[in-house]
Amino acid sequence: MAQYHHKQMAELAHQMQLSPVRLRLKQFEAAEYLIDLLEPEKEYPYDFVCHHLTGYRPKSNAPYKSMPGASLIEDLVQLIEDLSSATVLPAGAMRTTCWTTEELAQRLGVSTKTICRWRRRGLPGRKLRYPDGTVRTAFLERSVRRFVARNHDMVRRGAAFKQLTTAEKARIVQRAKEILAEKRMRLHELSQLIAAEMNRAVETVRYTLRRWDQAHPDEAMFGKDDQPAIRPELRDVFEAIAGGESPESVARRLGRSVESIRRDVREYRARTLKSTPIEYIYNPEFDAPGADTVILGATERPDKSPAPRQVTPPRDLPPYLQELYRHPLLEPEQEREIFRRYNYLKYKAHRLCQQLDVLEASDEQLDRIESLLSRAEQVKNDILRANLRLVVSIARRHVGRSPQFFEIVSDGNLALMRAVEKFDYARGYKFSTYASWAVMRNYARTIPEQMYQSARLVTGVDEMLASAPDRSVEARESVVEAARHLVAKGLALLTERERDVVVRHYGIGQNGQGMTLDQIGQMFGVTKERVRQIERRALNKIRASLGEDHAHFVAD
């Protein structure tokens, strides 16, 4: 049972539990009598309820809000159960027939789940101790009679309900697959359609489909968000269109209509956008009237600031690093404006993504979101270009002309990118100050590690190594080629879904840009844990097939 809907009822229940045990039966009777008096659609004052239950008016002069009858009935049922739990009375003390949940369900011809649901509608149960010493929830005969008399139609409908047979469940699942093959729709919409066809309750159909998905996760029809699970061919259609093939050509090849191909492409684009996290730093300015004109219109205003002073780059840097110094650092006002624009564009894209319906998304909606994200990426690149020389300057101070200099610069660039995402322009600090701190903090962790790795390579026999023929390049290429062969061999053993999960998670063939399990789950309409299970099963297949000699190539 749920907790109390009304705080004053919870306090009253606590006070009544402290009352003498000899009053308990009278309290039960008063609560059940009040349940019979209440009408769900009306509201009742607390002093009225308190007086009926205890015979006293509340002493507090503070006004109480009126309580809706429906929620008050649930609170009274909860109160009866709590009072009986505080002082468990023997079943024999009731002097009337007491029905357990199972016995009452059999008597009324309904399920035990229906009995539990009726408790929320005003069927009070009590905790009683039976002769065998067990404590069970029981329903008194007079309580059952009152409830049945008050809810005769509902009890009759519940008794007329028949459990689904195995054949009926199979027919519901088969019909769901047939409908989804023609038109993709949400679980609730599909349940309504099938319920009307089969003269069954909507919740019964919905529960049947959910149970089938849980028992057959590889063939699940819906994801955790009640959206239809993504079909494997959906990605194939999208990749074909993205590769330059026309919708008409794809439709002819697959024997489908052009509109269905376009619908699949829209759905895949929408799912990709919904599964991509959009991080931004919020500012109340974004919700102010005319924010588009104030924030985005700033790019069209002429720049009246003086031309930035050109800085001569250090001569010991290679030309491509010297080129960074041609992009001057931003002035404080420019920084505030460009960061405000960057976060506002992502804020607008995030808002539109939240409103996006993956089944009903239009090309205009998707184009709008993708355009906002593309503009935000351009602004981010402008910020990075203006601050990349900052990373070079810090790297030179930390390692000088070390052999690891270029690796240190590359690592600092990653720290700079993270700093752009986390910088809050509204605090009034300069980004160069924040970025310098972020890059130096990153170097404080990574540079000692790199120095340690370099020290491990010192052997003390440099002359011998210098005179020996260098076969490291050939060995490295041989190992890489062997690894590629094993990866291709392992992927060939997997099902299409397993291969797709492994490829996306580890970024194989995708420039090393792997996706998180949560992102993959959102794309395919399944839970993160389900994606983890698929990946674990795929890796176990690869290990078992490749054997122990090559097991170290497979990630855990």
Mean pLDDT for 23-45 is 87
Higher-pLDDT residue of 43 and 230 is 43
pLDDT of residue 374: 93
Among 258-262, 294-298, 550-554, name the one with the lowest average pLDDT.
550-554
Q: Pairing between strand 135-140 and 126-129?
A: antiparallel
pLDDT digits (tens, 9 = 90+) for 506-516: 777 655 567 88
Which residue is it, tokens 């996706």? 515
pLDDT of residue 551: 47
Mean pLDDT for 135-156 is 87
What CATH number is given for 284-299+334-456 in this structure? 1.20.120.1810
Tell which residue, 142, 129, 164, 58, has the closest CA to residue 97.
Answer: 142
CB 90 within 8 A of CB 128: yes
SS3 of 435-497: the string is HHHHHHHHHHHHHHHHHHHHHHCCCCCHHHHHHCCCCHHHHHHHHHHHHHHHHHHHHCCCCHH
Per-residue pLDDT band at 420 (split at 50, 70, 90) = very high
Q: In the chain, what is the straight-line distance between the N-terminal and C-terminal CA atoms, in Å?
A: 43
Per-residue pLDDT band at 342 (split at 50, 70, 90) = very high
Neighbours of 549 (CB within 10 A): 7
Mean pLDDT for 327-347 is 88
CB 538 within 8 A of CB 504: no
Given a cut of 60, whether residue 307 has pLDDT beyond it is: no
Given a cut of 50, whether residue 517 has pLDDT beyond it is: yes
CB 150 within 8 A of CB 157: no
Given a cut of 70, whether residue 554 has pLDDT beyond it is: no
Given a cut of 70, whether residue 4 has pLDDT beyond it is: yes
Alpha-carbon distance 323 to 42, whole Å?
Answer: 76
Given a cut of 90, whether residue 453 has pLDDT beyond it is: no
Mean pLDDT for 371-394 is 89
Among 19-28, 123-132, 443-452, 466-475, name the one with the lowest average pLDDT.
466-475
401 in helix, strand or coil? coil
pLDDT of residue 285: 92
Query: What is the pTM (predicted TM-score) of this model?
Result: 0.53
Mean pLDDT for 180-189 is 85
Per-residue pLDDT band at 301 (split at 50, 70, 90) = very low
Long-range Cβ pairs for the range 397-404 (8 Å, 24+): 398/440, 398/443, 398/447, 399/447, 401/316, 403/454, 404/450, 404/454
pLDDT of residue 112: 84
What are the residue boundaries of the structural domains of the chain, listed by start? 7-159, 166-262, 284-299+334-456, 480-553
Mean pLDDT for 259-267 is 88
Mean pLDDT for 469-474 is 52
DSSP letter (8 states) at residue 228: B
Given a cut of 70, whether residue 2 has pLDDT beyond it is: no
Mean pLDDT for 140-152 is 87
Per-residue pLDDT band at 379 (split at 50, 70, 90) = very high
Given a cut of 50, whether residue 459 has pLDDT beyond it is: no
SS3 of 207-224: the string is HHHHHHHHHCHHHCCECC
Per-residue pLDDT band at 553 (split at 50, 70, 90) = very low
pLDDT of residue 546: 60
What CATH number is given for 480-553 in this structure? 1.10.10.10
Per-residue pLDDT band at 199 (split at 50, 70, 90) = confident
CB 345 within 8 A of CB 372: yes
pLDDT of residue 532: 84
Per-residue pLDDT band at 457 (split at 50, 70, 90) = very low
Mean pLDDT for 163-171 is 86
Same fold, 284-299+334-456 and 480-553: no
pLDDT of residue 353: 92
What is the average pLDDT value for the chain, to the nearest integer? 81
Mean pLDDT for 23-51 is 87
pLDDT of residue 313: 63
pLDDT digits (tens, 9 = 90+) for 60-109: 666 677 899 888 988 899 888 888 888 888 888 888 888 888 888 888 88
pLDDT of residue 549: 45
Q: Pairing between strand 89-90 and 126-129?
A: parallel
Mean pLDDT for 447-468 is 50
Per-residue pLDDT band at 469 (split at 50, 70, 90) = low
pLDDT of residue 512: 58
DSSP letter (8 states) at residue 507: T
pLDDT of residue 63: 67
Per-residue pLDDT band at 371 (split at 50, 70, 90) = very high
Mean pLDDT for 364-386 is 92
pLDDT of residue 347: 95
Q: Give percent of the chain above pLDDT 90.
A: 15
